[in-house]
């Protein structure tokens, strides 16, 4: 892709994300998944050796900040399924997740994705952006303003206010562990994660320095500040 085309794609996707919800396109992808099967896999694992997902991702799917295990609760089932498919083929590299994803059939992956997508968004996470942000604060500034002279849109333009996520394509950043967010951005730089829709994230990650990555990851990992209200589920 040439540079202009990449830039146009970024702008297009940012526009799409900002209008998708208002056009009521934020619908849950409607395929029948076996939630009971999903619950069994999540809480007990599978007979062929996949560990119970909640042992790492938390009983409420909230993740584990200290260990860097991402939250799964309230992410779209389409996104979760696509990530597990990518782990199972090795396109998305993770020594921890690849073996589990390989042990699950497509039906099991679909069921467990649906199960976590229906879980409530954890309380206390960021759902809106801080109101007084200055260029001296690189994390919040990148998150809410971007760096348009480099063709870098603000994270909010695709990931929604406070990084709440815009379903089904743009996963939430709010409430993800800082080291998890950093690893994903570094993963795109290294090619350890597939490019995803329109190859948007590799372009964005390539424009972020290590310092930018730490700052923006810390912003989204931080709990909601006093003035931020919970607006509820982005499923």
- Comparison of 9 and 230: residue with beta carbon closer to ligand HEC: 9
The least CB distance from residue 14 to ligand HEC, in Å, is: 5
**83 contributes a contact to ligand HEC by CB under 6 A:** yes
**141 contributes a contact to ligand HEC by CB under 6 A:** no
The one among 20, 125, 164, 173 contacting ligand HEC by CB under 6 A: 173
SS3 letters for 195-221? CCHHHHHHHHHHCCCHHHHHHHHHHHH
Region from 20-28, 118-126, 173-181, 222-230 binding ligand HEC, contact rule CB under 6 A = 173-181
| Helix 210-221 and helix 178-190, axial crossing angle in degrees, nearest 10 | 140
> Whose CA is closest to 34, among 99, 122, 127, 105?
105
- Sort 67 into a burial class: Cβ within 10 Å, 0-12 / 13-18 / 19+: exposed
Q: Which residue has the tokens 């997740």?
A: 97
The one among 6, 10, 114, 129 contacting ligand HEC by CB under 6 A: 10
Region from 18-26, 29-37, 130-138, 176-184 binding ligand HEC, contact rule CB under 6 A = 176-184
Helix extents (H) in 21-125: 35-44, 54-57, 77-89, 97-103, 106-117
16-33 burial: b if 16+ Cβ within 10 Å, else e: bbeebeeeeeeeeeeeeb
- Comparison of 8 and 229: residue with beta carbon closer to ligand HEC: 8
* 125 neighbors 224 (Cβ within 8 angstroms): yes
- Comparison of 70 and 162: residue with beta carbon closer to ligand HEC: 70
**158 contributes a contact to ligand HEC by CB under 6 A:** yes
**157 contributes a contact to ligand HEC by CB under 6 A:** yes
Residue 69 DSSP SS3: strand
Tokens at 84, concatenated: 């597990």
**Count, residues near ligand HEC per rule CB under 6 A:** 45
Number of residues that make up the chain: 235
**13 contributes a contact to ligand HEC by CB under 6 A:** yes
Residues of span 92-121 touching ligand HEC by CB under 6 A = 94, 96-97, 100, 112
- Residues of the shown chain interacting with ligand HEC in the complex, contacts defined by CB under 6 A: 10, 13-14, 41, 50-51, 53, 55-57, 69-70, 72, 75, 79-80, 82-84, 94, 96-97, 100, 112, 142, 153, 155, 157-159, 169-171, 173, 176, 181, 183-185, 196-197, 200-201, 204, 216
């Amino acid at each position: 892709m040439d540079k202009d085309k990449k830039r146009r794609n970024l702008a297009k996707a940012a526009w799409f994300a900002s209008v998708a919800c208002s056009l009521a396109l934020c619908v849950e992808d409607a395929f029948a998944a076996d939630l009971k099967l999903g619950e069994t896999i999540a809480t007990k694992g599978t007979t062929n050796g996949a560990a119970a997902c909640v042992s790492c991702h938390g009983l409420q799917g909230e993740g584990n900040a200290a260990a860097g295990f991402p939250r799964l609760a309230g992410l779209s089932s389409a996104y979760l399924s696509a990530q597990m498919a990518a782990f199972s083929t090795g396109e998305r590299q993770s020594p921890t997740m690849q073996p589990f994803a390989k042990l699950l059939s497509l039906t099991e992956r679909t069921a467990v994705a649906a199960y976590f997508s229906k879980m409530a968004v954890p309380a206390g996470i960021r759902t809106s952006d801080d109101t007084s942000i200055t260029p001296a604060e690189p994390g919040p500034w990148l998150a809410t303003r971007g760096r348009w002279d480099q063709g870098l849109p603000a994270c909010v333009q695709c990931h929604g206010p406070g990084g709440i996520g815009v379903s089904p394509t743009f996963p939430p950043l709010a409430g993800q562990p800082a080291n998890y967010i950093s690893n994903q951005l570094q993963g795109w730089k290294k090619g350890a994660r597939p490019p995803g829709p329109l190859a948007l994230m590799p372009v964005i990650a390539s424009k972020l320095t290590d310092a930018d990555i730490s700052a923006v990851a810390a912003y989204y990992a931080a709990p909601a500040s006093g003035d931020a209200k919970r607006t509820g589920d982005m499923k």
